[in-house]
């Protein structure tokens, strides 16, 4: 049960932390339509995180008998207990960085959820069947923006390329595997991330070409998210996410 718990928690953290970053952009997007789009992406991701955390609460409850809910995992854990990949916690920066981070994530999340529909774990398969449809729209959106930025003006091209160069080092971690994941792969609960990497690379390479952007090479990949080692800005993100729940435990509307 423990590997399933950790694995599901990681996926929930990936969705929640990216959602929190997107929510920081509300009222700061370049146009009102994009403000709505980014907050809608965030809403979908929060919905996915809720479903995943609810399942985590169920698994953990079966192990120790304690009653927890989804909020426990979002609001009552310390920073080092979050196991999201570093990519999704990267600060927003300019619009190109927001879009590139989103695209590199969505190009992973879409094929991830598609294959997870075939998980032998019924709950994960059900969450996947729901999430894959939403994520298909996320990928369409972030992909079309990346093409517009890359194949746009000199300035948008320059910023898009800088963002790709900046974010690339965080993409290797998406496909890393460890004993937690291997245990689930052998039970067909999860799937080999290497195959996912090929699909991801295909989407990313095609889109970068269309966007007249270059794929970075020889980049030393950063990792640590899944062992709880986060970047400095992560503490401020968690501070803002948890401040209300910490100051007023159990508060409701």
- Angle (CA) 106 109 110, round 5°: 85
Whole-number minimum distance, CB 222 to another protein, in Å? 28
**Closest to 10 measured CA to CA, from 164, 188, 136, 190:** 190
Binding piece for another protein, criterion CB under 8 A, among 59-67, 69-77, 138-146, 154-162: 138-146
- Per-residue binding string, another protein, 170-209, x by CB under 8 A, is ----------------------------------------
CA end-to-end span of the chain: 34
Q: Considering the rule CB under 8 A, would residue 47 count as an interface residue with another protein?
A: yes
Nearer to another protein, 192 or 210 (CB): 210
| DSSP 8-state secondary structure symbol assigned to residue 221 | P
Nearer to another protein, 82 or 103 (CB): 103
- State whether the Cα torsion 198-199-202-203 is positive or negative: negative
Q: Considering the rule CB under 8 A, would residue 133 count as an interface residue with another protein?
A: yes
Whole-number minimum distance, CB 136 to another protein, in Å? 5
Nearer to another protein, 133 or 229 (CB): 133
How many residues are present in the chain? Answer: 253
At 36 the three-state DSSP class reads helix
At 111 the three-state DSSP class reads helix
Q: Considering the rule CB under 8 A, would residue 241 count as an interface residue with another protein?
A: no
For residues 173 and 226, the answer to whether their CB atoms sit within 8 Å is yes
Tell me which of 40, 92, 223, 242 binds another protein, using CB under 8 A: 40
Q: Considering the rule CB under 8 A, would residue 148 count as an interface residue with another protein?
A: no
Angle subtended by helix axes 32-64 and 95-116, to nearest 10 = 40
Tell me which of 129, 162, 201, 245 binds another protein, using CB under 8 A: 129
Whole-number minimum distance, CB 51 to another protein, in Å? 6
Q: How many other C-beta atoms lie within 10 A of the C-beta of residue 42?
A: 21
Q: How many other C-beta atoms lie within 10 A of the C-beta of residue 92?
A: 15
Identify the H or E element spanning 151. Answer: none
Q: Considering the rule CB under 8 A, would residue 13 count as an interface residue with another protein?
A: no
Whole-number minimum distance, CB 227 to another protein, in Å? 28
Q: Considering the rule CB under 8 A, would residue 246 count as an interface residue with another protein?
A: no
In sequence order, what are the residues at sequence separation of 6 or more whose Cβ sits closer than 8 angstroms to the Cβ of residue 202?
none
Q: Considering the rule CB under 8 A, would residue 48 count as an interface residue with another protein?
A: yes
Residues of the shown chain interacting with another protein in the complex, contacts defined by CB under 8 A = 33-34, 36-37, 40-48, 50-51, 110, 114, 122, 125-127, 129-134, 136-137, 139-141, 143-144
């Amino acid at each position: 049960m423990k590997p399933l718990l950790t694995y599901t928690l990681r996926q929930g953290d990936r969705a929640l932390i990216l959602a929190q970053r997107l929510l920081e952009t509300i009222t700061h997007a370049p146009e009102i339509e994009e403000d709505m789009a980014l907050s809608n992406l965030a809403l979908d991701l929060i919905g996915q995180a809720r479903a995943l955390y609810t399942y985590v609460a169920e698994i953990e409850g079966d192990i120790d008998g304690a009653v927890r809910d989804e909020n426990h995992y979002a609001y009552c854990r310390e920073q080092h207990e979050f196991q999201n990949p570093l990519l999704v916690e990267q600060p927003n920066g300019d619009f190109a960085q927001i879009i590139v981070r989103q695209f590199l994530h969505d190009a992973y999340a879409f094929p991830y959820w598609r294959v997870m529909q075939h998980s032998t774990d019924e709950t994960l398969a059900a969450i996947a069947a729901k999430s894959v449809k939403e994520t298909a729209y996320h990928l369409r959106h972030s992909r079309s923006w990346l093409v517009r930025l890359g194949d746009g003006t000199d300035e948008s091209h320059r910023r898009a390329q800088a963002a790709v160069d900046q974010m690339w080092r965080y993409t290797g971690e998406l496909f890393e595997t460890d004993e937690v994941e291997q245990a689930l792969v052998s039970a067909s609960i999860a799937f080999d991330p290497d195959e996912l990497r090929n699909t991801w690379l295909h989407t990313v390479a095609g889109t970068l070409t269309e966007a007249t952007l270059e794929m970075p090479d020889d980049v030393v990949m950063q990792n640590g998210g899944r062992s709880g080692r986060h970047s400095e800005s992560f503490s401020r993100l968690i501070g803002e996410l948890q401040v209300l729940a910490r100051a007023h435990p159990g508060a409701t509307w």
